[in-house]
């Protein structure tokens, strides 16, 4: 459910109302008195930004020396309310020269009232894009003498904005960069069985396209391939397909087309943006296997042997690999033998840290360490072994198996584009019990 705000108040630190706007008649004008009495005067402003008093809920946020308070009388989306506040403050700053405080509000009463009428209608958020609003609210705010000088950028045609053009396009050169970035989360038992494993990924794009292009992205996801085979009446080509979970898209994606055709179609913004996020829980290709052996020899010695096997192809390599092997706090001295990279003892985190700058695929480097412990006079307590942790980055590899099948660009002028696709897999919470 959207915000459905009944009123919005701008207060200073003393609780004085600087400006307010009532959008519905289901709350009285004295709601701000309840906020001052039950929240500000009781010094509970820092405890929780959402409070319920009587039959109304108060969502408030402090920006500089101003409190912005949204009052709702029904169940509303709290995240949407705070998102509206953040976007509204950004809009005000674009008019006020980058500043938003009590003085900026007092100097721009008329402009703020005009903006409040445009960005919220009967309590529901509307368009908050500064580029679009400045096309028909051309009044300039009173700027602070310390604010940055306004730029003299030309604005796009207002008619195009009103008749369906989007507000996030600029004329650019014709290149598209697409990055698939994945984080692998793993918890493996000491016997080598996987206890928990999943991949969280995101598709990042950087676009420099002129005109108003329409892009279509094809992935090797199972639902999309099945839908395509139904439309084209032909069987799915052999190859790995994956199932995407918890998918979220950027606002530029055409969701109606995605629901009907299962294709990602969009008019991209300029520059960098996050096109989509996803999660995968099945069929995960682990980039590394860790085989640890830790032996406690009496009360003063330990032997640590760790073998790490890279499972990805021999032509690939991982960068910045770090293996952290925990040891007891009473560690006094260590000695190492490694077949690749460097190892040392880090007393600050009680770990043996093994670093390999470049880790080729299909290799099995090992680390052997002898650890001497300080002998204690008291009764020996059993050492609870924390898990081994790994950090890494593997370019041109995806643990999920996700691949870009095609990236098509349509634009009425018919220009040629250059598409660049890159894959990278990083370690999320990659842990192996020992």
Q: Are 116 and 80 in contact (CB under 8 A)?
A: no
pLDDT tens for the 434 residues of the chain, in order = 456 788 899 988 888 888 888 888 887 777 778 888 777 777 666 678 888 887 788 888 888 889 899 888 887 888 888 889 999 999 999 888 888 888 888 888 888 888 998 888 888 888 888 888 888 787 777 765 554 444 444 444 554 555 555 555 555 578 999 999 999 999 999 888 899 999 999 999 999 888 889 999 998 887 756 665 555 555 545 556 788 889 999 999 999 988 888 789 999 998 899 999 999 998 899 999 999 999 988 888 999 999 999 999 999 999 999 999 999 998 999 999 999 999 999 999 999 999 999 999 999 999 999 999 987 765 566 778 899 999 999 999 999 999 999 999 998 888 889 999 999 999 999 999 98
Taking only the tens place, the pLDDT of each residue in 236-292 is 455 567 888 899 999 999 999 888 887 899 999 988 999 999 999 988 999 999 999
pTM > 0.85: yes or no: no
Residue 1 lies in a domain: no
Identify whether residues 130 and 116 lie together within a single domain.
yes
Residue 96 lies in a domain: yes
Identify whether residues 46 and 76 lie together within a single domain.
yes
Residue 168 lies in a domain: no
Domain of residue 212, CATH code: 2.60.40.1170
Identify whether residues 18 and 154 lie together within a single domain.
yes
pLDDT for res 150: 47
Q: Are 68 and 9 in contact (CB under 8 A)?
A: yes
Residue 2 lies in a domain: no
Residue 169 lies in a domain: no
Domain that holds residue 273: 175-284+398-432
Q: Where are the alpha helices (DSSP H) in 311-433?
A: none
Q: Where are the alpha helices (DSSP H) in 289-394?
A: none
Identify whether residues 292 and 341 lie together within a single domain.
yes
Identify whether residues 195 and 61 lie together within a single domain.
no
Identify whether residues 149 and 11 lie together within a single domain.
yes
CA distance 373 to 352: 14
Q: Which residues pair with 184 in a beta bridge?
A: 199, 427
Identify whether residues 158 and 267 lie together within a single domain.
no
User: Of 210, 367, 206, whose CA–CA distance to 272 is shortest?
Assistant: 206
Please state the domain count of the chain: 3
Identify whether residues 52 and 145 lie together within a single domain.
yes
pLDDT for res 370: 95
Identify whether residues 82 and 153 lie together within a single domain.
yes
Residue 62 lies in a domain: yes
Domain end marker among 105, 137, 163: 163
Domain of residue 61, CATH code: 3.30.450.60
For residue 398, count other CB atoms closer than 10 A to its CB.
23
For residue 260, count other CB atoms closer than 10 A to its CB.
10
> What does 94-144 look like in DSSP terms, one character per residue?
HHHTS--SHHHHHHTHHHHHHHHHHHEETTEE----HHHHHHH--PPP---
CA distance 157 to 53: 47
Identify whether residues 131 and 11 lie together within a single domain.
yes
User: Of 390, 395, 398, whose CA–CA distance to 427 is shortest?
Assistant: 390
Q: Are 83 and 91 in contact (CB under 8 A)?
A: no
Domain end marker among 96, 130, 163: 163
Identify whether residues 228 and 104 lie together within a single domain.
no
Identify whether residues 352 and 296 lie together within a single domain.
yes
Radius of gyration of the chain (CA): 29
Q: Which residues contact 46 (CB under 8 A, 6 or more apart)?
A: none
């Amino acid at each position: 459910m959207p915000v459905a705000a009944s009123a919005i108040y701008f207060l200073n630190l003393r609780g004085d109302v600087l400006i307010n706007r009532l959008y519905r008649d289901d709350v009285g004008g004295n709601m701000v008195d309840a906020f001052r009495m039950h929240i500000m005067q009781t010094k509970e402003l820092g405890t929780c930004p959402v409070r319920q008093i009587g039959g109304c809920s108060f969502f408030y946020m402090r920006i500089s020396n101003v409190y912005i308070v949204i009052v709702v009388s029904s169940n509303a989306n709290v995240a949407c309310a705070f998102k509206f506040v953040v976007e509204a403050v950004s809009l005000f700053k674009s008019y006020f020269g980058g500043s938003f405080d009590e003085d900026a509000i007092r100097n721009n009463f008329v402009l703020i009232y005009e903006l409040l009428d445009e960005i919220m209608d009967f309590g529901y958020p509307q368009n908050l894009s500064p580029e679009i609003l400045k096309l028909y609210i051309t009044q300039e705010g009173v700027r602070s003498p310390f604010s940055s000088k306004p730029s003299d950028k030309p604005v796009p045609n207002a008619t195009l904005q009103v008749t369906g053009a989007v507000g996030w396009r600029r004329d650019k050169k014709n290149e598209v960069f697409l990055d698939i970035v994945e984080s692998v989360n793993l918890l493996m038992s000491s016997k080598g069985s996987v206890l928990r494993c999943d991949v969280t990924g995101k598709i990042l794009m950087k676009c420099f396209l002129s005109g108003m292009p329409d892009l279509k992205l094809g992935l090797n996801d199972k639902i999309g391939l099945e839908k395509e085979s139904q439309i084209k009446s032909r069987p799915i080509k052999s190859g790995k397909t994956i199932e995407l979970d918890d998918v979220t898209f950027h606002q530029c994606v055409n969701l109606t087309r995605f629901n009907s055709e299962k294709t990602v179609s969009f008019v991209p913004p300029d520059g960098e943006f996050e096109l989509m996020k996803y999660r995968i829980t099945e069929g995960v290709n682990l980039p590394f296997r860790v085989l640890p052996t830790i032996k406690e020899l009496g009360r003063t010695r330990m032997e640590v042997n760790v073998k790490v096997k890279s499972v990805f192809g021999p032509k690939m390599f991982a960068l910045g690999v770090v293996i952290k092997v925990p040891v007891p706090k009473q560690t006094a001295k260590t000695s190492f033998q490694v077949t690749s990279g460097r190892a040392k003892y880090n007393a600050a985190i009680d770990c043996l840290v093994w670093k390999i700058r470049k880790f080729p695929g299909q290799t099995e480097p090992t680390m052997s360490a002898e650890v001497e412990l300080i002998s204690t006079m008291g009764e020996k307590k059993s050492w609870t072994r924390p898990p081994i942790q790994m950090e890494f980055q593997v370019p041109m590899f995806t643990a999920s198996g996700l691949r870009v099948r095609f990236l098509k660009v349509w634009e009425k002028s018919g220009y040629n584009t250059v598409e660049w696709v890159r894959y990278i897999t990083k370690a999320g919470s990659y842990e192996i019990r020992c």
